[in-house]
Structure 1
Amino acid sequence: MRLRIMAVGLTFAGLSACNSQNAITENRQSPRPVITMADVVPVPKHTTLEARQQQQRFLVNNTKRFRSRKKASVYYVAQAKRNYKEQKLDSAAYLFGRAWLLDSTNHTILWGYGLVYGQQKQYDKALFVLYKALEKDKANARLLTDVATTHLGRFYKESTPEDLLQSKKLLEKALRQTPDAADIYYKLAINSYYLQEYNKAWSYLHRSLNKDQGKADKTFIAALLEKQQDPEGKYVR
């Protein structure tokens, strides 16, 4: 059975899933590409005098406008996030690049690039840059959850069990930071489903729905019911 699980309220709106048994047992992973910061933050190196002058004017004008490069960077990050939410991924990436030129110490930019690459299903790049962001903000539950989501995305695409296990580890860490987060419980339910830990999947699902009934997804519940009846009897086939 192939199913499509809608991860309601999560960073990535939809998650394409594969058969749980095959996903765990049929790992066809190819060697990971070598990725550098230049690959994920493609800020152009201008070779002409005119281009360099134009970039310098951009920096000077925005520093004056916002009174500091850091504040200007925050502005461009906000604009990038707005474009990201509107699914304008190319515009979002461009604006994150503008923000990076102004302040390359702003880890939120790396986070943003990671979300863009995740939406584009470029999971290797997404994880590379998200872990760079996580190095600067290790206890951020939302960031931990986004990294976990990206591991799930790569698992769905490549059937890599290590991604599934790493996702679980990160979600459990995020849950310790925010124990009332319904979306984390919901993702752990999905994670447990693919690990074939169906009792845990039901438990996490109910804990998620107890906090936010809006996260109920009929497709996921139906898939879970095919594997095991609901121990609480709230859902039946």
Structure 2
Amino acid sequence: MRALLVVWTILGVFPNVFGQTSQFVSQSHPLTKSNSEARSTVAKDSDKTSLHCIPLWGEKKKSAQQIKQDEAFLKACDENFGNRAEASRFFAERGWEYIAEGELDTACYRFNLAQLLNTKNSDAYWGLGVVCHQKGQGTEAIRMLSKGVACDSANSMLLDDLATLYIQQHQQSGQAHDLDEAFTLLNRSVQLDTTNATTYLKLALAEYQRNNFDKAWEHLHQCRQLDVQVLDFNFIEQLSAKQADPKGVFNSGKN
């Protein structure tokens, strides 16, 4: 059974303006608390170092001692899980739990372990990207999520989250290529899943940034038709101030 864990708000994007439009995609991750920390004793928090709390251990060459510790950890996982892919999923799940609890360093450690177990686990990079974002490390967040996309380029939600980061970066940098990257990701997301309402909401936001208000309304109505609960009425108010709704749905107080 999947449970909703977190909705990550991108701080600084249209402050007090667009509300949920500037959020990461809501995500569900499987929880297996019944057999969780009993097996994660192979990753004791008492063994953590500052290096464990840096995404991918800083991506530096490891010392002989660190390699020895990794080998011991992998051996323990081999003894406690059916395979390393299963173990990797397990530690990624724990990472999401710690993010939900605001324990970012512990979450980072768990995602690092998930990546050590399976370098192709997109969830590990996704989680590390969220940790970086929560710590205000926008460039690193994009880099980590990009690694996740490289592992799973068919994940519409992951593409949407990376696009959201590029939209945020565009707000800060004003660089057109950031918005171009967001459009590339969102258009790919639409091709993968035409029923993802969030993608259309993000496209509406991106078109708004290009002052293409007709297109913004078009995508907003596509979002509305798929899932009205995804709509952000703060964003609708801002868009309406630029151009009235061509369909008249959101004019004159209608919703």
- Assess same fold via TM > 0.5: yes
**Structure 2 residue corresponding to 1:227, chosen from 235, 238, 242:** 242
Q: Deviations along 1:9-56, whole A, 9 cap, x unmatched? A: 95268xxxxxxxxxxxxxxxxxxxxxxxxx74126877585x665544
Q: What are the within-5 Å matches in structure 2 for residues 7-22 of structure 1?
A: 7=20, 11=24
Return closer, same or farther for 1:99/1:224 CA change in 2, 3 Å cut-off: same
Counterpart in the other structure of 1:62: 77
TM-score normalised by structure 2 residue count: 0.72
- Distance in structure 2 (CA, Å) of the matches to 1:86 and 1:204: 34
Q: Is the Cα contact below 8 Å between 2:22 and 2:164 reproduced in 1?
A: no
Q: Is the Cα contact below 8 Å between 2:25 and 2:160 reproduced in 1?
A: no
Counterpart in the other structure of 1:130: 145
Return closer, same or farther for 1:216/1:141 CA change in 2, 3 Å cut-off: closer
Stretches of structure 1 lacking an aligned partner (at least 5 in a row): 14-38
Q: What are the within-5 Å matches in structure 2 for residues 4-43 of structure 1?
A: 4-7=17-20, 11=24, 40-42=55-57
- Distance in structure 1 (CA, Å) of the matches to 2:249 and 2:25: 27
- Distance in structure 2 (CA, Å) of the matches to 1:54 and 1:40: 17
The amino acid across from 1:146 in the alignment is D
1:194, CA displacement in angstroms? Answer: 0.8
The amino acid across from 1:11 in the alignment is F
Identity of aligned residues (%): 28
Counterpart in the other structure of 2:210: 195
What secondary structure does 1:234 align onto?
coil
- Distance in structure 1 (CA, Å) of the matches to 2:177 and 2:68: 47
Q: Considering Cα pairs closer than 8 Å and 6+ residues apart, tell me whether 1 or 2 has the greater RCO.
A: 1
Counterpart in the other structure of 2:34: none
1:232, CA displacement in angstroms? Answer: 1.1
Counterpart in the other structure of 1:19: none
The amino acid across from 2:18 in the alignment is I
Counterpart in the other structure of 1:120: 135
What secondary structure does 2:57 align onto?
coil
The amino acid across from 1:41 in the alignment is L
RMSD, aligned CA: 2.7
- 2:136 is the alignment partner of 1:105: no
- Distance in structure 2 (CA, Å) of the matches to 1:42 and 1:93: 9
**Structure 2 residue corresponding to 1:160, chosen from 163, 168, 175:** 175
What secondary structure does 1:110 align onto?
helix
Return closer, same or farther for 1:203/1:46 CA change in 2, 3 Å cut-off: closer
1:2, CA displacement in angstroms? Answer: 6.6
Q: Is the Cα contact below 8 Å between 1:9 and 1:215 reproduced in 2?
A: no
Return closer, same or farther for 1:193/1:9 CA change in 2, 3 Å cut-off: closer
What secondary structure does 1:105 align onto?
coil
Counterpart in the other structure of 2:49: none
Q: Is the Cα contact below 8 Å between 2:88 and 2:118 reproduced in 1?
A: yes
**Structure 2 residue corresponding to 1:180, chosen from 176, 184, 195:** 195
TM-score normalised by structure 1 residue count: 0.77
